[in-house]
Amino acid sequence: MPQLLFLCTGNYYRSRFAEELFNHLARDQDLNWRADSCGLDLARGIFNIGPISPATAMALTKMGVALPDPLRFPRDVCENDLLASSRVIALKESEHRPMMTTRFPVWSDRVEYWHIHDLDLATAPEALAEIERLVRRLIEELS
């Protein structure tokens, strides 16, 4: 089964929403893809409490997306995650390309970059709505 990997900084908010929504929609449409997500710099998430952002969990629940039980905590990306993935999408190019270039220089140009702001520049409803739009477009593209 082809693997999709979503990347963000802390693997707490944006990439987790994309992962869970993608897997929910892919199952509903019998799409033979599976998503995972990881973070590029978990140390920046010192204020991230618990396994997943409450805004992410609330938005997914309102959409009818069942969250795994138990919820896993954020995971740091490693090269094996990249190697195992057929497609890698980082959620914000201006934020994540420099991280990719520093940590995985060979991979930085192989990643597809979206432009989803973090909470410093967008509200959670704005950012999550944009991720939903792009994930739905991706599902259509892969169908």
Write the secondary structure of the chain as one string of H (helix), E (strand) and C (coil).
Answer: CCEEEEEECCCCCHHHHHHHHHHHHHHHCCCCCEEEEEECCHHHHCCCCCCCCHHHHHHHHHCCCCCCCCCCCCCECCHHHHHCCCEEEECEHHHHHHHHHHHCCCCCCCCEECECCCCCCCCHHHHHHHHHHHHHHHHHHHC
Q: What is the pLDDT of residue 14?
A: 97
Number of domains in the chain: 1
> What tens digit of pLDDT does each residue of 104-136 get?
999 999 999 999 999 899 999 999 999 999 999
> What tens digit of pLDDT does each residue of 1-46 get?
999 999 999 999 999 999 999 999 999 999 999 999 999 999 988 7
Task: List the CATH number of the domain containing 28.
Answer: 3.40.50.2300
Region 68-94: mean pLDDT is 97
Q: Which domain holds residue 102?
A: 3-142
